[in-house]
Structure 1
Amino acid sequence: MSGRTILVLGASGLIGRFVTDDLRSRGFRVVGVARRLSSAQRMSALDVELPILSLDTASLTRLLNEHAVSVVVNCLGVLQDGPGSNTSTVHRDFVAQLLKAVGNSGRLIRLVHISIPGSAEADRTAFATTKREAEHLIASSGIPHAILRPGFVVAPSAYGGSAMLRALAAFPIDLPAREMATTFQPVAIEDISATIAWLAARDIDNASLKAVSWDLMQAEPVSMSGVIKPFRVAFGTEGWPRIAMPTFILDLGAKLGDLANYLGWMPPMHSTAIAELRRGVTGDPSAWIAATGIAPKRLADAVGRHPATIQDKWFARLFLIKALIFASLVAFWLVSGFIALFVSYPAAAGILSAHNFPPALVDPITIGTSLMDMSIGILIAFRRTAAVGLVAGIVASFGYMVGAAILTPDLWIEPLGALVKTGPAIVLMFVALMMLDNR
């Protein structure tokens, strides 16, 4: 099997990363491609960092031929449109380019495409409709292909919806009753990788496997409540009393998630995620099981029967808090600067005047520091510049503390303790900086 090369597109994602590593352990030569690789992946000579969505047909064709690819696994996907990501571009337009590249390669290549379960009639979001459009393109292409439609993916890593499940399991909170009753059919990520390995080991010109579409999931449907339960058992929170979240809070969270998505973040809760949650994840895995002989893992086995580790618990507890940390820091810097500049400007300027600052410097310093504070808040608000904003906030806070110690030491003992409270704010910014990674 080591002579057959598999190209995994989206090798840094939840499914792509696991599949890349697992297939290599099975003896396949696997080339992983992603727009941005992790530090560990960059150490592998077979993993390639490329702006994959920007490649034209000729570039994709060269990629296939340079590595003598026999199987392409497309794990690329995005839940919702946002800065730098577009569902039509990722799901439909790229697949069209990829199909042309496979056709132009002069090689016999099987495309394994990761899609979503469900019927086209139930598709309501751009995510679902563009995924379905990609399926139609593949089905009409005539190239050997397998369209895999995993159920709710349960993996050792936590990302997106699976991370949200862990967070719900760690807190005494339930989603609204309607959402908790939604039907889900989970699948262990190991079963997805085993299916791809099974396909990769078969002859590409095998007529029975030239065009297959399989739902990958356990046969027995469970509710969302049933999906969360094994995680609660692992976290030791199964017996806790719980409060059901009101529907309007969930909808508000989705709107706030849309805003965060616009700012470049990847929140697990936004309009598309909630719409897909309410739709449920169901399908018929009988054809997949019959063809491959793979017995899908049950949910309890996929999650594990052992108690969660301390790192599992810390992640789950901090996952929801992360959004509050960043939102509070953005508000802190924006509001403090706004108040000093527009609401209490005479008082802010008066502090400097009272401590014998030259009159010519009072207004420039007051206006400059206020604008700097608001700029830091804006930088933290955008994902691309958040790290810069946090570092700037830490430096500015230390600067305020040192400057006050030298020029206005009496502010350290004022009744409200404004400068004393700057210390915990610095610590919180350090915490936010440590939590900035998404993957």
Structure 2
Amino acid sequence: MLTQRPRGMHDILPQEASLWHEIEEAARRICARYGFSEVRTPILEHTELFQRGVGENTDIVEKEMYTFNDRGGRSMTLRPEGTAGAVRAYVEHKFYGGPQPIKWFYLGPMFRYERPQAGRQRQFHQFGVEVFGVADPAVDAEVIALGLDFLEDIGLEGLRLELNSVGCPQCRPMYRERLQAYYRPLREQLCEDCRDRLERNPLRLLDCKRETCKALAERAPRIEEALCEECRAHDEGVHRHLEAAGIAYEINPRLVRGLDYYTRTAFEVVEDGIGAQGTVLGGGRYNGLVEELGGPSVPGIGFAAGLERLILALEQRRGEGTSETGVDVFGIALGDEASVELTGWLRRLRALGCRAERGFEGKSLKAQLKAADRLGARWALILGEEERRRGVVMVKDLAGGEQRELPVLEVESWWKETEHGTGR
């Protein structure tokens, strides 16, 4: 039906939007503290960007992308994740030629054709950060710290940081061979997807959520046994920096993330209160991705957090779906001339930062007070024709019920005093 939204797409209604604003503002606030600048890349990119950047053998590219040919016959894709587009922008605009590091963050919608479930839709939103140009393990720790500070700032508790190294192009081939040697005799016990991954992308076998495959992964060889000296030194450096920052972590040898571009550090933050799929933030290092997408050899690291999953976690923790937008003043006019005057000084109050609403259509005082109460307003400013002639307005405290007259010319100064806690 044309009157229904497509499956997996979600309307963010006004009563939900305040919680979204809260999360987005927290993201911007934390990024400012860490020196990150916002980047906004197109929702639509050339399909090849994700084939090369995310990996042709990933589930995202093989099964989940929204891809189509445009009128010029070019294959285009709605972005399924944010890192590839950010790297493309970094390369296209030659940011690698200036001082490093480059520290970016983004907020916006992504698209994947997957089975909708709680906290996961086909159109979803991500907050992500990327750092280009520095290979120092201190950057890995700083990115992780930013993510944890953000999650704690929005009110999540009981967070668990899981950490692993996925090696590099020098040492990972040896580990792939060990994994394949372990799994090939067990092929018939694997799920259909993992049988396919066995030859094409064996590291993804460790990430399967099927119980039989998870049990086999428990006994699989660990990548730490195959790390080269440089990867091992980097991994130990990340641990030292996290410990210096007072950040607790767990080593998860089965943590590989779902994208091909990761090298060395991989991490996830888990919130156990939202079910089996409790990851609320994840990322890692991608030292070869800039070069893969046409730039020089520049290291990078980042993370992304799905806002829908954060909303779900916060709703479950708070026991509520929304937070109040809040109204400071509700203006009530009784009469046409009073309505005109109300329009003027409500605009001046809003210019001072006051969250102001008003009644319309000449409704009764009782009806307008009910509207003010429904919006949770703190004060009602009531202007009738008699008050207008005398140059006063009635100020009513909607919580305590107290009411007093105030000269209209003093309304703005009254609000300034009220806002700073000196009015009453």
Give the TM-score of the pair, scaled to structure 1: 0.26
Give 1 or 2: higher helix fraction: 1
Structure number, greater radius of gyration? 2
Larger RCO (alpha carbons 8 Å, 6+ apart): 2
Give 1 or 2: higher strand fraction: 2
